[in-house]
Amino acid sequence: MAQQKKNELVTEQRNKKSLHLDQLSIEEIVTLMNEEDQTVALSIQGAIPQISAAIAAISGALIAGGRLFYIGAGTSGRLGILDASECPPTFGVEEDLVNGLIAGGEKAIRESIENAEDDEHAGLLAISEVVRSGDVVVGITASGTARYVIGAIREANRLGLTTVGISCNQDTQLSTLVTYPIEVPVGPEIITGSTRLKAGTAQKMVLNMISSTTMIRMGKVYGNLMVNVQATNHKLRERTVRIIQEATGTDEERARQTVIDAKGDARVAILMEMFSVSQQKALDVLLQVRNHFGDAVKLLQQSQ
- The residue annotated as part of the active site, out of 8, 35, 36, 86, is 86
| Cβ–Cβ under 8 Å, residues 266 and 91 | no
| Cβ–Cβ under 8 Å, residues 222 and 247 | yes
CA dihedral 121, 204, 213, 66 (to 10 degrees): 20
Among candidate residues 154, 113, 147, 108, the one with its CA nearest the CA of residue 131? 154
Handedness of CA 30, 35, 41, 43 (dihedral sign): negative
- The residue annotated as part of the active site, out of 117, 155, 189, 273, is 117
Asked about 238 being catalytic, the answer comes back as no
Alpha helices in the chain (DSSP H): 26-45, 48-63, 74-91, 107-110, 120-128, 147-158, 173-177, 198-217, 234-248, 252-261, 266-275, 279-288, 293-303
Asked about 117 being catalytic, the answer comes back as yes
Catalytic center residues: 86, 117
